[in-house]
Amino acid sequence: MRFVIQRDSRKRFRFASLQSAVAAELLGQPDARDSVVLVEGAKVYRKSCAVLRIARRLDPPWPLLAAFLIVPRPLRDAAYDWIGRRRFRWFGRKEACWRPEPHVAERFIDR
């Protein structure tokens, strides 16, 4: 989420916790609470599809990653899961949840 916020200068994305009432309303019961989910209109994208579709709309050079959409989804999702299992080892784990600053908080959906 922080990665996207820092690279989305046009403020195209809004956010909600997968555990929130908003997520339940939009998605029903999410089947993967530790995955990224992108809702575009009536379509819901998960895992690598969501990440690459998000990257396509970020500030350059991130849209270049959308080229990986040509890779079959099972292979992309396997890479997504592999990275996900190692992310804390590579980037560390935070002791507390991130609290957005007021100018960022407006981008969170809270109905």
Digit-coded pLDDT (tens) for 15-69: 887 778 877 777 776 555 567 889 898 898 999 999 999 999 999 999 999 999 9
Reported residue count of the chain is 111
Q: What angle do CA 54, 57, 62 make, to 5 degrees?
A: 80
- Residue 68, domain member (yes or no): yes
Strands (E), the chain: 37-40, 43-46
Distance, in Å, from the CA atom of 67 to the CA atom of 5, rounded to the nearest integer, reads 22
- What pTM does this model have? 0.82
Distance of CA 17 to the CA centre of its chain: 10
**Count of structural domains, the chain:** 1
Distances (CA, A) of 44 to 37, 47, 63: 7, 10, 19
Query: Where in the sequence is the domain holding 9, given as residue range(s)?
Result: 2-105
- Residue 111, domain member (yes or no): no
- Residue 42, domain member (yes or no): yes
